[in-house]
Structure formats: structure tokens, C-alpha cells
Structure 1
Amino acid sequence: MVESTPSPTPSRANNGFVLYLVSTILFVVYLIWAFIPDPLLHYFGLTYLPLKYWAIAMPIYGMVSLFVFVMFFYPCINMLLVPPRESSNVLTDSYTLSDRKETAPGGVPSACDIPLSTVCEILYLRNKHV
């Protein structure tokens, strides 16, 4: 089985180079279509292009769609993926480090696991300014 790593490989380098070339060419074609006047495009025989309205509308539609996804769908997906507090996936086991030792003044606290109920209490129940 091939291990999936982020390290560069020849096939990834080739794919990245092709993606770079294709995206650059498409962007240049988009800029030519958006900024060259229609009579000049018709002179060269390019009469089948969409209206110039879409040169502005499509990027705006794309940004609005991205905004809706980031502000609504992405948080909803993340909330669905979090297991409930009573789930068997949120358990403490024999490897849990729950005994916090006292820290010397000015020192760094020792590493330990914080129970989920404590995290929720600190984040959502304490210091509520109503």
C-alpha cells in the first residue's frame, strides 16, 4: 500500500505544473474576453462568446456562494461531525493524564487531559456578561 505523504513526487510536480499552466491560460482568456470590445472580437470571428455581463456576474456569484458555504454550510457540517458529550467516542481511558500537579509560581503547567465537561464549563458557562 502506498503511503500518502505531502512530500513532492514527480507526478505531483507534473500535475501542479499542468494545473498552473491551464489556470494561467484560462485566466488570460477570461481577461481578453472581459476587456476586449465586442467589435474587435467579432472581427476575429469570435461571435459565440457570452455577454459581457457574465464577466462580472460569475465572479460575484462565485464569491457569494463561497461566503454562504463558509458562513452556513461549513459550520453546520462541523457541528454534525462533533460527537455528543454522552457518546462512547468521548471517553477517558487508561492513558488519560487527569492528575494536575501544582505549578510553581511563574512556571509552566504540566501537560494533562482536560475533561470535556470542564472545557464546556470554562468556555460557555463562566463569566457570562448578561
Structure 2
Amino acid sequence: MPEHTPAPTPSRAVYGFVLYLCCYSALALYFVWAIIPDSFLHSLGLTYWPQKYWAIAIPIHVGLAIALFGAVIYPAINLTMTPPLGDLRTVTDPHAVSLQDKMVPEGGIPPVSDIPISQVCRHLYMDPN
């Protein structure tokens, strides 16, 4: 079974080069269709082409769709996946490291760990006296 890796291989290089050529050929064909007058294309025997309106309308519609997705839809998807403020997942997660299990010598520097929310609230909001 072949290994799935993003490393370059000869077959990927060939596919990439063919895709590169196809994209530039399609771009050249698009510019030929958009810029050359219909009368010249008809004289060559090329009669079935979309209206020139679509040469401007399609890029505008694609750009608007990308902008709408980036400004409205993508943030809305992220907001729907965010847990509510009262959920415990906003405070801790399964990967949290607790300091309670580790012994710290007197005057020593404790290892990196997560501070429990109760300790944070005591330090911030309770009377220090």
C-alpha cells in the first residue's frame, strides 16, 4: 500500500505540469474570447460563443461569492461551533496539565501547568486581606 505523503514524486510533477499548462491555456482562451470582437471570431468559423457580458459577470460573481464566504459564512460557521460561555469546555480541556499531582520543593520553580479557574478567580476577585 503506498504511503500518503505530500512529498514530491515524479507522477505528481507530471500532473502538476499538465495542470499548469491547462490553466494557462484556459486563461489564454478566456482572454481571446473576451477581447477579440465577435465579427473576427465569426470570420474564423467560431460562431457559438457565450455573450461578452459573461466575460465580466463571471469573475465578478466568483469574487463576490469568495468575499461573502470569507466575511459572512466562514465566521458564522466558526460561531456555531464555539461552545457557549457557560460550558466547561471554555475553561479546560482533556489536555490540561494539573499542578496538583507534582511535588514542588520549597523555593523551587513549579513546572509548566494550567492554573485552575477557581485559583484565578480567588486571586482576581477575592479580598486580599
Gaps of 5+ in 1: 100-109, 118-130
Higher Rg: 2
1:43 matches 2:43: yes
Q: What is the alpha-carbon distance in structure 2 between the residues aligned to residue 77 and residue 23 of structure 1? A: 31
Counterpart in 1 of 2:8?
A: 8
Partner of 1:81: 81
Aligned with 1:91 (options 90, 93, 97): 93
**Secondary structure of residue in 2 paired with 1:51:** coil
TM-superposition CA deviations, 1:51-95 (whole Å, max 9, x none):
1111111100110011011111111222333455434xx5245xx
Answering whether residue 53 of structure 2 is matched by residue 53 of structure 1, we say yes
For 1:26, the equivalent position in structure 2 comes to 26
- Once residues 63 and 10 of structure 1 are traced to their aligned partners in structure 2, the CA distance between those partners, rounded to angstroms, is 34
How many residue pairs get aligned? The number is: 104
Tell me how far apart the structure 2 counterparts of residues 64 and 112 of structure 1 sit (CA, whole Å).
46
Deviations 1:12-55 (A, max 9, x none): 21221111111110000000001101110000011110111111
Q: Which has the higher contact order (CA 8 A, sep 6+)?
A: 2
Paired amino acid for 1:68: L
Q: What CA RMSD, in Å, does the superposition of the two structures yield over aligned residues? A: 2.9
Give how far 1:11 is off: 2.4
